[in-house]
Amino acid sequence: MTYSLDFRLRVLSVKKKKNLSFAETADLFGVGVTSLVGWVKKPEPQTHRHKPATKLNMDALKEDI
């Protein structure tokens, strides 16, 4: 799930104002610690994938079902 830039900046602002750790902030907002660390480095959401889309083999899927 991608969080909006506004939400990311608000979370980082609360972390700084209340002097919270990454773990405390993650628990407070229900997001991952790794996400918070990434937001500090680059708060803007990613707009594209860096890997190709995965194609499903429909015949194999039918056999599984």
Other C-beta atoms closer than 10 Å to the C-beta of 26 total: 19
What are 47's two structure tokens? Answer: 């707009």
Digit-by-digit pLDDT tens for the chain (65 residues) are 689 999 999 999 999 999 999 999 999 999 999 999 999 999 988 877 777 778 888 888 888 88
Write down the domain spans for the chain: 1-46
What are 54's two structure tokens? Answer: 């995965």
* pTM for this entry: 0.70
The pLDDT of residue 4: 93
Rounded-to-integer distance, Cα 30 and Cα 33, Å: 9
The pLDDT of residue 8: 95
